[in-house]
Each structure stands twice: as structure tokens, then as C-alpha cells.
């Protein structure tokens, strides 16, 4: 009889197989589920890795563009500032009109209201009496012997301190007073300036020197010069100051020719002043013309009245030869006109030439020989004997009146030249002429002193 499994046993085996199959299916599904869960993470990581390199590259490109943009913006700002400054400089540049009347100060009639005695006053007339005149470029009070100027290749653009400036003006005035000149022609006197701490040197020098009258002629009023960068030269108003112990009847400012090129910004405006000193006893008119007490022979309104005419000049240093020729041509025209009237004419100042003549290989461009052959008839430099033999002065011009300001003064290495002096008409006899040696203590120039007398018409 064969053995056959009973139904309960068969059912148990079937159930066991089904459980095993179910477990296997569950495990497979779990593995599939885990695999499907890992797939997005892996894909995301791959995508992220793939995108990372372009992003980094893009960031690098963005930084370069940003840096370039910043550089371009900075350059644009610099160009805008420079362009605006250039426009400012050229639009601010101006020249005073020619033939500008100047007012002698103070009015002699005002001394009574000043609660003080007037300064000493002299009368000027032909004869044996001698008079003294001095010319002095004061270098805006900054050029002590250890000073150098940036435009000449030196260090400084301002006076080194306000106190030092004031003290130098005091010391300079004391040196001038020791010679007691009757007339004084000063150049480079600042009325207001960045380089001189806005000290009004015109008022300062007038108070220190105390002359009877003075005339100020503005030479230039410069726009703000933004150079050198460490100490910009700034805006400066400077000019010529003529001081007189005699009464001044009138004065005039003449505008010299200057370059029309960009160099005019450096050389600025240029001028000379013409100051008229009536001869004899020209008592100023009282407030009431009916009380006039002046001698008609010395009345400046008399067309036949003779005058001592003082011309204060500062010729260009940085202009071309053609501009210099035009400046001298204009100056000569006024000299000749006054001489033809029979007036006594003295032209003094800074000629920015070598007045001794002769070539010097070491000379700066501004110190070229003065063209003596171009002088108008009837005029000569005061240190020379005139052609008519009326003037044979005692002369002491061993010392040069001007030094190069490219370095502090060194007697062994600094270039010097006789650049300052006096032109005189031949109706004036020069009796003494000196280039004063102060070793450039107060300025890059030293004063020049001249003693003279006015010759009578039949002399």
C-alpha cells in the first residue's frame, strides 16, 4: 500500500513555499526601492559636479570684468577732473586792459586826516643835486639763500612758512632802508597768493618802508595751479610796486605782449608801469581848485612841463625769443616817446637777460645776452659810459644781481647773472652804479642801486 501525504501536510508545505516566495519578492522590491532612492542623489551629485566648473569659470570672468569696470570708471573720473581743470585754467585766464590808469596812494591831502606826520618828501629838479634809485626783485619774499623754486628745477613752490615770510620781508626792508633810496622799484610783490599765505605784501612793504607815495601795478592774477601735487602753487596775484619820496602826478600800466600758446599759462601776464614825477615844487591841488597854489611851470596839466618818468619793468623769463623781441619793441616805443617830449627817463627792473652780454654755455634759456644794438637812440644802461660823454659813473658791478633758483645758493655751483639794472636817457648823468652784494640773503635777486642827477637843458 503506497504512502500518500495527507492534506494537512501538503497544505503546510504549500504555505511554506508561498512565504518564502513572498519574502524573496519583498527583498527584491526593497533592493529596487533602495536603488531607486539612491539614483536621484547620484544624478544630482553628478549634475552638481558637472555644473560646478562653468560656475567657477563664470565667477572668475565676473571678477575680471568688475576689476576692469572699476579701472575704467577711475580713468573716466580722472579724465573728467583733468578736463574740467584744463577748461577752468583756460577760461579763468585773463589779461588786464592796456593803458590802465593807476592811482598813486595815498593822496597827499589825506595825510592831515591820518593823525600822523607825512613821510619825508623831496622835490626833483635839474641841477647839481643828486638822487638815488634802487631796483629789487623781491621774489615774493620767499627766496632766502637756501631756497630753491620748483619751476626752475628746485624743491619749493611756497614760502616755507608764514612767519619766515614775514620775517624775511622785515629783514629785506631794513636792508633797503640802510641805503635810503629816494625811489624804489620792486618786482614780484604779492598782493594775495597761496604761495605767500595770502599776506598782502604791498601793504606790508609800504608800511615797513614808509615812502611819501606809491603805485602798484598788478602783473598777473593766475588761476589755481595744481602743481606740484605735493604742494600746489595755487592762485596768486602779484605785481610791480613803485615807491617815491617825491609827489607822483599820475601813473599808467602797460600790458606787454605775451605768448598766445599754452605757455601763457606758465608765463602769465606781463606789464610795466609808467610813473610821472613833476619837476620843481608841484604842490598837489587842494580840494577847492580855486585855492590852487601850484607853480604853473610844474603843473602836470601844462603840456610843456618836464617830468622825471620812472618805468618799472619785469620782462618774461619763459617766453620765446619772438615774444621777448616784441616786449622790447613796445618798451622802446614808450622810452622814445617820453624822451622826445624832453622828459628825463629811467627804466629799471628785472630784464631777464644777461646785461653784460656775451654767450655762456651754462646759461639758462632766460639768461640770454641783452641785444644792446636794439636800444633806441639816446638810451644806455647806467653802468656804461654814454656815447655823448655826459655820463661816466663810478661803477661796482662785480657781483651778479640774480642767481638760478634750481638749488640753494652755492657760490661754487650756482649760476649767476647780471639781470637787473637801469636804462637811462642821455639827459641824465649817472654818478654811481652798484650791484649790491647780499649773497642773495633775502631773494634770488640782489638790489641794484644808482645815483644820478638831471642835466639842465643847456648842458
Q: What is the pLDDT of residues 91-123, one digit of tens each?
A: 766 678 999 999 999 999 888 888 888 898 999
**Which of 92, 107, 122 corresponds to the end of one domain?**
92
**pLDDT > 60? residue 50:** no
At 36 the pLDDT is 52
User: Given 92, 111, 137, which residue is the final one in a domain?
Assistant: 92
**Phi and psi based region of residue 235 (left: phi greater than 0; alpha: psi -120 to 50; beta: remaining):** beta
Whether residues 314 and 397 fall in one domain? yes
Q: Residue 110 domain-assigned? A: yes
**269 with 375, same domain?**
yes
86 alpha carbon, distance to own chain's centre: 17
Is 21 a domain residue?
A: no
Query: Residue 288: its pLDDT value, please?
Result: 43
Q: What is the pLDDT of residue 299?
A: 53
Clarify whether residues 233 and 325 are in a common domain: yes
Residue 379 and residue 292 share a domain: yes
Q: What is the pLDDT of residue 49?
A: 55
> Does any domain span residue 14?
no
- Give mean pLDDT, residues 136-144: 97
Is the pLDDT assigned to residue 289 strictly greater than 80?
no
Q: What average pLDDT does this structure show over 345-357?
A: 96
Whether residue 65 is predicted with pLDDT greater than 90 in this model: the reply is: no
CATH of the domain at 105: 3.60.10.10
Residue 175 lies in a domain: yes
Q: Does any domain span residue 68?
A: yes
Higher-confidence residue of 417 and 19: namely 417
Considering the domain architecture, whether residues 403 and 258 belong to the same structural domain is answered as: yes
Residues 285 and 321 in one domain: yes
Q: In this model, does residue 10 exceed pLDDT 80?
A: no
What CA–CA distance (Å, rounded) separates 141 from 158? 10
* pLDDT band for position 62 (cuts 50, 70, 90): confident
Pick from 429, 419, 430: nearest CA to 456: 429
- Work out the mean pLDDT of the chain and round it to a whole number: 85
Instruction: Find the mean pLDDT for residues 76-85.
Output: 84
Per-residue pLDDT at 263: 57
Rounded (5°) CA angle 165-168-171: 155
- Could you tell me if residue 287 is inside a domain? yes
**Residue 327: how many CB atoms within 10 A of its CB?**
21
pLDDT at residue 124, rounded to an integer: 97
Q: Residue 142: its pLDDT value, please?
A: 96
Reported pTM: 0.81
pLDDT at 22: 54
DSSP state of 407: S
Q: Average pLDDT for residues 81-90, to the nearest whole number?
A: 74
Q: How many Cα neighbours within 13 Å face the side chain of 337?
A: 8
Question: 236 and 103 in one domain?
Answer: yes
CB 316, CB 219: distance < 8 Å: no
- Looking at the fold, whether 69 and 118 belong to one and the same domain comes out as no
- Give the pLDDT of residue 215: 98
Q: Distance (Å, rounded) from C-alpha 42 to C-alpha 85? A: 64
Domain end, chosen from 54, 71, 92, is at: 92
Would you state the pLDDT for residue 287?
43
Mean pLDDT of 83-95: 71
Instruction: State the Cα torsion 168-174-179-182 to the nearest 10°.
Output: 90
Q: What is the mean pLDDT of residues 88-93?
A: 66
Give the per-residue pLDDT at 16: 55
Model confidence over 216-271: pLDDT tens digits? 999 988 888 888 988 888 899 999 999 999 999 999 999 999 877 665 555 567 89
Higher pLDDT, 319 or 250: 250
Supply the pLDDT for residue 432.
97
How far, in Å, CA of 270 to CA of 203, rounded?
Answer: 21
Together in a domain, 394 and 305: yes
Interaxial angle between packed helices 162-177 and 201-209, expressed in degrees from 0 to 180 and rounded to the nearest 10? 40
User: Do residues 294 and 370 both lie within one domain?
Assistant: yes
Task: Give the span between the Cα atoms of 236 and 188, in whole angstroms.
Answer: 11
Per-residue confidence (pLDDT) for residue 2, from 0 to 100 = 44
Per-residue pLDDT, averaged over 151-156, amounts to: 91
* Residue 166 resides in a domain: yes
pLDDT in tens, 388-441: 777 789 999 999 999 999 999 999 999 999 999 999 999 999 999 999 999 999
**Does 424 or 361 have the greater pLDDT score?**
424
pLDDT of residue 307 exceeding 90:
yes
Whether 220 and 76 map to the same domain: the answer is: no
Same-domain status, 64 and 123: no
- Residues spanned by the domain of 74: 29-92
State the pLDDT confidence band at 292, using cuts at 50, 70 and 90: very low
Q: Which band of pLDDT confidence, cut at 50, 70 and 90, is reported for residue 3?
A: very low
Rounded percentage of the chain residues whose pLDDT exceeds 70: 78
Overall domain count for the chain: 2
pLDDT in the model for residue 296: 42
Is 180 inside any structural domain? yes
Lowest mean pLDDT among 275-279, 347-351, 367-371, 385-389: 385-389
Amino acid at each position: 500500500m503506497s504512502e500518500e501525504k495527507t492534506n494537512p501536510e501538503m497544505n503546510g508545505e504549500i504555505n511554506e513555499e508561498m512565504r518564502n516566495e513572498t519574502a524573496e519578492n519583498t527583498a527584491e522590491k526593497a533592493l529596487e526601492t533602495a536603488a531607486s532612492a539612491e539614483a536621484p542623489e547620484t544624478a544630482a551629485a553628478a549634475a552638481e559636479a558637472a555644473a560646478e566648473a562653468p560656475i567657477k569659470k563664470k565667477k572668475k570672468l565676473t571678477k575680471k570684468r568688475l576689476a576692469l569696470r572699476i579701472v575704467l570708471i577711475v580713468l573716466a573720473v580722472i579724465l573728467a577732473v583733468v578736463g574740467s581743470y584744463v577748461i577752468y585754467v583756460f577760461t579763468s585766464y585773463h589779461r588786464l586792459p592796456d593803458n590802465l590808469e593807476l592811482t598813486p596812494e595815498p593822496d597827499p591831502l589825506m595825510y592831515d586826516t591820518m593823525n600822523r606826520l607825512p613821510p619825508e618828501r623831496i622835490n626833483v629838479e635839474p641841477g647839481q643835486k643828486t638822487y638815488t634809485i634802487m631796483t629789487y626783485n623781491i621774489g615774493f619774499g620767499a627766496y632766502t639763500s637756501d631756497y630753491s623754486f620748483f619751476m626752475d628745477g628746485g624743491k619749493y613752490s611756497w614760502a616755507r612758512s608764514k612767519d619766515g615770510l614775514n620775517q624775511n620781508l622785515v629783514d629785506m626792508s631794513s636792508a633797503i632802508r640802510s641805503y635810503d633810496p629816494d625811489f624804489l622799484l620792486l618786482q614780484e610783490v604779492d598782493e594775495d597768493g597761496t604761495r605767500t599765505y595770502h599776506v598782502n605784501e604791498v601793504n606790508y612793504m609800504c608800511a615797513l618802508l614808509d615812502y611819501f607815495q606809491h603805485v602798484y601795478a598788478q602783473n598777473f592774477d593766475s588761476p589755481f595751479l595744481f602743481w606740484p601735487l605735493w604742494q600746489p602753487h595755487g592762485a596768486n596775484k602779484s605785481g610791480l610796486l613803485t615807491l617815491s619820496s617825491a609827489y607822483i602826478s599820475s601813473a599808467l600800466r602797460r600790458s606787454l605782449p605775451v605768448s598766445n600758446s599754452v605757455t601763457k599759462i606758465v608765463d602769465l601776464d606781463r606789464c610795466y608801469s609808467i610813473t610821472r614825477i613833476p619837476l620843481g615844487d608841484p604842490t598837489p591841488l587842494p580840494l577847492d581848485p580855486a585855492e590852487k597854489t601850484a607853480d604853473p611851470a610844474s603843473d602836470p596839466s601844462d603840456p610843456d612841463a618836464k617830468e622825471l618818468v620812472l618805468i618799472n619793468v619785469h620782462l618774461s623769463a619763459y617766453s620765446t625769443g619772438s615774444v621777448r623781441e616784441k616786449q622790447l619793441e613796445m618798451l622802446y616805443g614808450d622810452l622814445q616817446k617820453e624822451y622826445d617830449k624832453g622828459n628825463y627817463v629811467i627804466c629799471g627792473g628785472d630784464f631777464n637777460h644777461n646785461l653784460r652780454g656775451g654767450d655762456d654755455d651754462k646759461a639758462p634759456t632766460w639768461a640770454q645776452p641783452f641785444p644792446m644794438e636794439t636800444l633806441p637812440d639816446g638810451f644806455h644802461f647806467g653802468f656804461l659810459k654814454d656815447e655823448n660823454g655826459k655820463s661816466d659813473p663810478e661803477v661796482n658791478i662785480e657781483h651778479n644781481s640774480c642767481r638760478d633758483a634750481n638749488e640753494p645758493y652755492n657760490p661754487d655751483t650756482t649760476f649767476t647773472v647780471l639781470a637787473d639794472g637801469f636804462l637811462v636817457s642821455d639827459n641824465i648823468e649817472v654818478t654811481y652804479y652798484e650791484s649790491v652784494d647780499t649773497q642773495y640773503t633775502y631773494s634770488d635777486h640782489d638790489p641794484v642801486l644808482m645815483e644820478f642827477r638831471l642835466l639842465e637843458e643847456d648842458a
